[in-house]
Amino acid sequence: MHNYLITIIGPTAIGKTSLSIALAQHFGCDIISCDSRQFFKEMRIGTAVPSDEELASANHHFIQNKSIFEEYTVGDFERDAIAKLDELFEKNNVQIMVGGSGLYVDAVLKGFDDFPEINSTIRDEVRANYEQLGIEYLQTILKEKDSDYFNLLSSNNPQTLQNPQRMMRFVEVCLGSNQPYSSFLNQKKNSRNFTPIIIGLEAERQVMYDRINHRVDIMMHEGLLAEAEKLFPNKDLNALQTVGYRELFEYLEGNISLDFAIEEIKKNTRRFSKRQLTWFKRTENAVWFDYLVDRKEIINHINQHIKS
């Protein structure tokens, strides 16, 4: 039988988890979580991990399966997710993937770009220079070695230029291969043994923003501050460089008030949702539905693709 991967995309707090569970129950299949923040078992409240009841409603994979002290890359996830899907397709030719991490979704659907092996000496040197000179060192090298990609990020994804892990990777590839990082992008992707059926969920902007604000209030009520306090000694770990924790770390350091931190979480989450939507709207063959649409309409759409 031919395999199908129902893939649910959309901005944060739009209702992807609820839809994925409903579809998993309808098709009798499992759910691959594709949210890079929900991998980590120490980060439950701030990453909106599904509730125990939701997790019990369908078989989930890649939720709280790693520790913040482990390095887990998008390449690692691609490898593990494809292996898990191969296993799941043996039982059911329809499976579900859901999440808001666009890069991770693309890695599973299209394959990850093939980069050269980089000498560990170069990697260590880049890290040492970053620790001594800061993010500006990485930005300068990338601009010098791959100006096209630097300018693309500046225009479309400026937050990436502030991400040390991503920037160190760009720079080490440039230095280790003596080629622009972007020259390795968009090459021929790996073949997949499934056909994706991509469902996008969206809402009017104000509705989306109201849902985000409400979710942050719920997180604070459920104990996000206590979770951040527990994680605070490890605040410099890459996994914790994320919205919801950074702002509370600023509060715990005495730099801002708690009320201001909460408003910053809401504002930064709204900005994040806009970037998610921009990324996902570029997804080929995605069909978009209002988040309140009758699920029967989505199921009918999926069945038409499976039968055709």
Annotated binding-site residue? 176: no
DSSP structure string for 111-176: ---------HHHHHHHHHHHHHH-HHHHHHHHHHH-HHHHHHHHHH-GGGGG-HHHHHHHHHHHHH
Q: Is 230 annotated as a binding residue?
A: no
Strands (E), 1-78: 4-9, 31-33, 60-61
Please give the single-letter amino acid code of residue 292: L
- Across the beta sheet with 94-98, what order do the strands follow? 60-61, 31-33, 94-98, 4-9, 195-202, 287-290
Q: Say how far apart CA 38 and CA 22 lie, in whole Å.
A: 20
Q: Is 16 annotated as a binding residue?
A: yes
**Which helix (H) or strand (E) element contains residue 237?**
none
Contact 160, 169 (CB under 8 A): no
What does the alpha-carbon distance between residue 299 and residue 96 come to, in Å, rounded to a whole number? 13
Quote the longest CA-to-CA distance of the chain: 59
Residue ranges of the binding site: 10-17
Residue ranges of the binding site for ATP: 10-17
Residue ranges of the binding site for substrate: 12-17
